[in-house]
Structure 1
Amino acid sequence: MKQILLTAALAFSTVFAHAQCAGWNWPEDAAMRSKAEEKNVLYTDALNAENFAGAQKHHLWLLNNTPNLNTSIYINGEKIYNGLIDGATDEAKKNIYIDSLLLLYDMRMEYCNEKQEVVARKAYAAYRNNVKKPGELKNILDLFKEAHELNGNDLPDYMLLPYMSVVYYNVKYLDNLTPDQILEYYEGINEAIDYKISNESDASKRAKLEDYKNKIDGFFVQIFKVDCAYVKEKLEPRFRANPTDIKLAKTIFKFMLEGKCTDDPLWLDAGKVIAENDPSYGLFKNLGLKAKASGDNAQAEELFNRAMEYAQTPQEKSEMYMQMGSMKSEAGQKSTARELYKKALAADPNAKEAYTRIGYLYFTSYEQCRGGEDQVKDRGVFLVAYDYFMRGGNGSAAGDAKEQFPSKEEVFTYNYNSGDNLSIGCWIGETTTIRTRD
């Protein structure tokens, strides 16, 4: 079959070169037109009945005699040969069908003058059918590379993960790529998927792309040792020579984050370039975390607020409020911290850790809030802390708070009853119910 189709391609290359297949290009000869119309009906009827072998014979006549008849003969040809491939039990015959399918894409590109989309389809078909054949891996990678060059960041979504997996298989089975080549492929794929994620408004589709991205990273780290030494030796000189290279800046930023060498000025320099050209939630979050770790809370707060501007989900927004709340808590600004934790809950009601954080703010306020005249009132901070720990699902912390409840004797002594409402003053301003530790 491969030889028959190849013969057709060569025979008509001079006659139909640069032809278009958008309309119906019936033969001018009446007898040939009648025959072509008959074959078109016969193969489509067989295809609709999923009789792929029956469709193939009539379809082949059209390929040999009217290869620029209409784009539909190539679209339907894919269906025919995919059906034959899936149904083949003989490996040799299956390989013939695969070769024929791939040649079909070549014919479509030649006779219909379609390449950008078709080469991507050919690359994926080659991947789907030949990826387990080591001898085909280099050819498949070349097809993906060509498709990427033609489509740029608009490379179809379904190509992204297979593309990186082909890079992985080439390294694993053929050992035919240098570290620089691996990095170049990875950067290109990563740039495309980042572009798609940033331009995708559908949350479910964006989540799927994020999943692809994580899996692509998984392939990459198996074949490329990500370390700071490589970044400093190989990537920093490139970056210093061209400090506006956003793709390289992203790679450096990510590698140094994973390599835990973010103290190096190069990491911040790369982050600044990204922030100027392609700001994102993840970027400002990581820069904010770095500023927080270094004790620069003012800078961290500014960066966390910038991160919220680009948050895509309620969870992301809530996380930034939690980070800012923890800074205020560490600084002793308990009331401000509580408000930030409440904002985290408002953004994402499932962020139950915020309840626990508020609980600890109350739990640690005993010395600050006790008046020394009423033990029940003084220990009210533990009662309200318990309430918040329970709302956060933190049984262990709730148990610690319960141990600090007033005793039955104290409740009796200060003229209270278990179950009475108790107003907690100080900065807390909450109402709770009296309970005892015994």
Structure 2
Amino acid sequence: MMWTNRKFKWGLIGCLSFLMIGMANAQDGWNWPSDPQMEAKARELNAAYTDYKRSEEFLKAKSGLHWLLVNVPELNESLYINGVDIYAGAAKAATDPKEQRIYQDSVMILYDLRNKLYENESRWIANKAFYAYNFYKGEKDKIGEATDAFARVIEVNGTLSYQLVPAYFDAVYRNYAYNKAYKPEELLAIYEKLNGILNEAEGAGNDVSNQKGIMEQLIVAMDIIDCDFIANILGPKMKADPDNMKLAQQVFQYSVQQKCTNSETFLFALEVIDNNDPTFSTSQVRGLRYMQNSEYAKAGELFEKALTLATTDDQRAEIHWDMAKVHANLGRKGQARTSAMKAAELSKDREKDAYSFIGGLYMSSSNDCRGGQSRVKDYSIFIAAYDAYARAGDSSGMSNAKSRFPSKEELFTEGFQVGETINTGCWIGQTVTLATRD
């Protein structure tokens, strides 16, 4: 704060001249004046103003307090402790906005004077920040005093009470809205620091859901985090420091929130996290991204990794289902069927999809399995496909498969009859009951 402003503020509580008068030896923390008349007056006013304070007559209390602050500023630290309550109470009781502002500013000045005399800032700096926020949160020119006070709390004490975290971040939000006082990355750094405080409090058993909810609302209201911000601001930082797990997790979280999961920045963050602290989800999502990019071999490696990290049958079913699609895309139809069947075994919810998928594998194997010696045998794979579709309840697939069954004439020509069984051979290797399309 500029000296001219500070000089003006000193006048707010009565041009505190701090006249240096003789003090008696301190007794029990009280420094009464050595002059008898001054001592008598100081004792009288000290008793009077504290009585007014006890009865919450703050406007009356401030007169005696003012005299003590000007004439015996080192009388006792209680002057500054009580003084805050008195001027805060006077500000609340005042009806004139100008007077209210004088009393509010006086609260701030008392904290500064107390600091000069007693050097115990850690005891009260959080209270100062709280008052600054409540006094100045709606004012463009003074909200910065509140943010500075909160920052000072963390500087002095190393942390901030989790109950005050929303107030600090709201002050930051207002300072940004009023004055554009921060760059987006600075806002994000403050947000992450305060979120860290909430996480610590939560780890200690405190319910911080309300505080976190307010924080999330404010960061969204700032409208600074979007896909461009993630890619152009956070992305380069992460690539310059690829071992920074905290930053990678931040990018991952914001990418999911902003639906930027198709970006290279998201994939890079995912790789950092999965390489350093893999979980089922990180390995699976990473595999899915490779599959989306048609990098099936890489996807398969990640799914195998995810399978080792799975802890439930539902998770294992998901991975076997993913692996079925990888195998199919790599032309490994037998392995694709095995994975699909495994998924169905682990999760009944997968059963219909699995058998419909297997029906599709059979249907697409016409060229692979055509022997050219028996049309009935070559077409028997479509009967196997029909059976798979039937288990899936896939009427469309059943209809398509049946249209490619052998005809009655083809069965007769080759000496087969409806109802006989035949093995499809090829990789399918299913024994089916012959039927015709007509």
TM-score class normalised by the smaller sequence: 0.5 to 0.7
* Alignment partners' CA distance in 1, 2:217 and 2:275: 26
CA 1:325–1:93: 2 relative to 1, 3 Å = farther
* Alignment partners' CA distance in 2, 1:297 and 1:233: 30
Q: Deviations over 1:223-271 (max 9, x none)?
A: 2332333223222332333344455344323222223344643222453
| Unmatched segments (≥5 aa) in structure 1 | 276-282, 306-320, 338-357, 365-438
**Hey, what does 1:227 align to over in structure 2?**
226
Mapping of 1:232-247 within 5 angstroms? Answer: 232-245=231-244, 247=246
**Contact 2:160–2:197 under 8 Å retained in 1:** yes
CA 1:134–1:121: 2 relative to 1, 3 Å = same
CA 1:242–1:22: 2 relative to 1, 3 Å = farther
- Aligned pair count reads 310
**Contact 1:252–1:270 under 8 Å retained in 2:** no
**Hey, what does 2:273 align to over in structure 1?**
271
1:287 aligns with 2:287: no
CA 1:269–1:329: 2 relative to 1, 3 Å = closer
Q: RCO (CA 8 Å, sep 6+): is it higher in 1 or 2?
A: 1
Q: Report which of the two structures shows the higher radius of gyration computed on alpha carbons.
A: 2
> TM-score scaled by structure 1?
0.58
Partner of residue 163 from structure 1, selected from 151, 155, 168: 168
1:57 aligns with 2:66: no
| Unmatched segments (≥5 aa) in structure 2 | 1-8, 290-299, 322-340, 354-438
**Contact 1:262–1:268 under 8 Å retained in 2:** no
1:288 deviation in Å?
6.8
Mapping of 1:30-429 within 5 angstroms? Answer: 31=36, 32-152=38-158, 154-198=159-203, 200-201=204-205, 205=206, 207=207, 209-245=208-244, 247-262=246-261, 264-271=266-273, 275=277, 287=282, 290=285, 299-300=305-306, 324=315, 327=318
Q: Deviations over 1:136-186 (max 9, x none)?
A: 12333333333333333x212233112211222223233343323322332
Q: Deviations over 1:378-417 (max 9, x none)?
A: xxxxxxxxxxxxxxxxxxxxxxxxxxxxxxxxxxxxxxxx
* Alignment partners' CA distance in 2, 1:298 and 1:15: 83
CA 1:242–1:151: 2 relative to 1, 3 Å = farther
CA 1:237–1:128: 2 relative to 1, 3 Å = same
1:50 deviation in Å?
1.3
**Hey, what does 1:400 align to over in structure 2?**
none
Aligned partner of residue 171 in structure 2, secondary structure: helix
CA RMSD of aligned residues (A): 4.0
CA 1:333–1:180: 2 relative to 1, 3 Å = closer
**Contact 1:325–1:336 under 8 Å retained in 2:** yes
**Hey, what does 1:422 align to over in structure 2?**
none
Aligned partner of residue 7 in structure 1, secondary structure: coil
1:12 deviation in Å?
6.7
CA 1:241–1:101: 2 relative to 1, 3 Å = same
CA 1:248–1:335: 2 relative to 1, 3 Å = closer
AA in 2 matched with 1:3: G
**Contact 2:307–2:319 under 8 Å retained in 1:** no
* Alignment partners' CA distance in 1, 2:190 and 2:20: 34
* Alignment partners' CA distance in 2, 1:118 and 1:25: 21
* Alignment partners' CA distance in 2, 1:304 and 1:73: 64
**Contact 1:250–1:274 under 8 Å retained in 2:** no
**Contact 1:165–1:219 under 8 Å retained in 2:** yes
* Alignment partners' CA distance in 1, 2:27 and 2:258: 52
**Hey, what does 2:358 align to over in structure 1?**
none
* Alignment partners' CA distance in 2, 1:141 and 1:158: 16
Seq. identity, %: 25
Q: Deviations over 1:206-234 (max 9, x none)?
A: x2x23212221221122233233322322
* Alignment partners' CA distance in 1, 2:283 and 2:145: 44
CA 1:4–1:91: 2 relative to 1, 3 Å = closer
AA in 1 matched with 2:234: L
**Hey, what does 1:280 align to over in structure 2?**
none
